[in-house]
Structure 1
Amino acid sequence: MPEQIAADQGSVGVLLVHGLNGGRDDMLELSEHLAQQGLITENILLPGHGTHVWDMLPIGWAEWAAAVRAELQALKARCTRVFLVGHSLGGALCLHVAASEPVTGIVTMCAPIEMFPGMLNAVRLVRHFTPWLPTLREDIHDPVARRLRQRTREVYRRTPMAPVESMLQYLPLLRAELPQVTAPILIMVARQDHVVPARDGRTIYRLVGSQEKYLVTFHRSYHVIMKDHERDEVFARTLIFIQKHLPATGHPLPYHTI
C-alpha cells in the first residue's frame, strides 16, 4: 500500500554485523536497544557462521563482503537513511562496503586494520598442521558475561584458520580504501583488547576520509565490548551517534577523542 511504502521510505535502518566466529547473539542486545527507539534493525548472520566450524573453512572475505553489501541494498530499499554497525571483522566489512556505498553513518567496534606483526605468516604455518585451533576463552573482562557467552556458543569452540587468513590478507587493501570512507564515523576501541590491538582503531581514525569522526576508548572492557563491563555505554554512544545524524535531533555529542 502507498501509505506503508511512504512510511518505510522515511524510516531509519541499522545494519548490524558480528565478528569472525561470532553470531547474531553478539549484536542482539544492541539491536534490541536500537529497535526500542523506533529504528529498523537488521542483525545479519555472516556466511559460514551459525552451524559448525567446518562450514566456515571454504568461506572468506569475498563471501562476507558480498553478504553485507546485499543486506545493505535491501535495507536501503526500505529506508532513506541507513547506518552500518560492526564488531571486529564486522567493523572491517562495514568500512569496506562504505568505501563504495553511500551510508548515513558508520559505527565500528574493535575493528582490525593491521593486527599483530607476523600474524599472517603464523596463521599460514599453522594451516600446514591443522585447519583450526581451539578457542581458549572469550575476550570478555566481565566474568559473569564471559561464562554466559561460553555456555551459549558450543559450535565455536574452535577457530578456523583459512577464514582468518582470508581476513588478514585483505586488511592491507582495506587500509588503502579508508580514505574513500567519507560518512560520519564513530570508532570504538578497548585499551585491553587481546584480539585486535587498540592502535588499529587509532589507525582507522587517522586514515579514514570522514570529516566528522569520533574515537572512543574503553578502559574496563576487552574485545567483545558490547557484552562486557561497559556495554551500556557502548549502546548509549551508538544511539547518540545515530540520533545526531537524524534531521530532528542534532544535539552535541559527549565524546572524548584521543
Structure 2
Amino acid sequence: MTHEFDILPGAEPFIFEGGKTGILISHGFTGTTQSMRPLAEACSQQGYSVYAPRLKGHGTHYEDMETSTYQDWIASVEEAYAWLMERCDKIFVAGLSMGGTLALYMAENHPEIRGIALINAAIEVPDMEGVLELQDVRFLDAIGSDIKKPGVTELAYDKTPVASVKEILPFMELVRKNLSAIHCPVLLFVSPEDHVVPPGNSKFIYEHIASEKKDIVEMPDSYHVATLDHDQQRIIDGTLAFFRTYE
C-alpha cells in the first residue's frame, strides 16, 4: 500500500489565469514552489498567465520523492505547459536549479517556446556523482536553503533521497548533451558563490546553446536559492524585462 502524503503548506502549485502570454515557472530538486512564489506573483501582477507546478514527489515528504523519476518531473512541467498552451499564444519558461534543467529540457523539445530564464541551472554536479556507488543508503543530508540572507529559509526536504540523486544525474546528462538544440533567447542568472550547483554550469550552458540572444547576469550577493536571497529583486526585474523584450 502506498502512503498518501499531504502537501506542505506553502508548497502548493501557483496558478494564475491572466493574458495571452504564459509563464511556466519551475522550482528545483527537493524544493517547492515557495522558492519561486515571489517571481510567480510578480509575473501574475504584470498580467501574465502563470503556472508554477509542484513537481511530483516534491512538497510532501522525502519518502514520496524517493519513488518519483525524472520522467515524472518532466511530466509535471509538461502538464503545466499544456495548461498554458490552451490559454496562451506564447510561452516563456523560468526555473531555479533543476527547474533550470527542466526549462532547458523544455526549450530543447519545444522550439516554439519564446525564451527561458535560468537561475543557477544545473547540468553537472560532480559532488553528487559519488552517490552512484552507494549501497544500502536511502537518504543523505539536505541540500536545500543555501541562502546568504539571514532569517530566510527555503521550504525544502531535510533529507535527500539517494534514489532521487540517481534520477537527476542521468537527467542532467540528457539535457547537457542536447544544449545545441536550443535557439530561443536565454537569460542566465548565476551566483558566483553557490554551495549546491557549481557556477561553471551557467558558463557551460551559455557556451553550448545555439541561441543568438543570450545574456549572463551575476548575482554577487546570493547563494544557490537566489530567488529568496538578496538578489531577488534583480531576478524579478531582469526576468520581467527579458519577457517584455521577446514577447
Q: TM-score, normalised by structure 2?
A: 0.88
Percent of pairs identical after alignment?
Answer: 33
Alignment match of 1:33 (pick from 42, 62, 74): 42
| Cα shift at 1:228 | 0.4
Distance 1:232 1:9, change over 3 A: closer
2:152 pairs with 1:142: no
Structure 1 residues 10-65: Cα deviation after superposition (integer angstroms, max 9, x where no partner): 61110110001111111111111111111111111000012111011121211111
Residue aligning to 2:132: 124
2:116 pairs with 1:106: yes
Separation of aligned partners in 1, 2:144 and 2:210: 35
Residue aligning to 1:242: 243
| Cα shift at 1:9 | 10
From the CA coordinates, give the structure whose radius of gyration is larger: 1
Residue aligning to 1:69: 78
Separation of aligned partners in 2, 1:10 and 1:235: 19
- Cα pair 2:143 2:160 within 8 Å, conserved: no
Residue aligning to 2:95: 86
| Cα shift at 1:119 | 3.1
SS at match of 1:38: coil
Separation of aligned partners in 2, 1:145 and 1:10: 32
Runs of 5+ unmatched residues, structure 1: 1-7, 247-258
Residue aligning to 1:223: 224
The RMSD of aligned alpha carbons is 1.7
Separation of aligned partners in 2, 1:226 and 1:113: 19
Residue aligning to 2:233: 232
Structure 1 residues 180-219: Cα deviation after superposition (integer angstroms, max 9, x where no partner): 1111110111000010011000000000111111111111
The number of residue pairs the alignment matches comes to 230
Separation of aligned partners in 2, 1:80 and 1:99: 19
Distance 1:35 1:165, change over 3 A: same
2:173 pairs with 1:160: no
Runs of 5+ unmatched residues, structure 2: 1-16
Residue aligning to 2:175: 174
Residue aligning to 2:55: 46
Separation of aligned partners in 2, 1:212 and 1:80: 21
Distance 1:243 1:191, change over 3 A: same
Distance 1:93 1:137, change over 3 A: closer
2:26 pairs with 1:17: yes
Matched letter for residue 230 of structure 1: D
Residue aligning to 1:115: 125
- Cα pair 1:110 1:196 within 8 Å, conserved: yes
- Cα pair 2:52 2:80 within 8 Å, conserved: no
Q: TM-score, normalised by structure 1?
A: 0.85
| Cα shift at 1:125 | 2.9
Moved more, 168-177 or 41-50: 168-177
Residue aligning to 2:14: none
Moved more, 163-172 or 19-28: 163-172
SS at match of 1:112: coil
Separation of aligned partners in 2, 1:62 and 1:94: 14
Separation of aligned partners in 2, 1:215 and 1:17: 19
- Cα pair 1:113 1:200 within 8 Å, conserved: yes
| Cα shift at 1:94 | 1.1
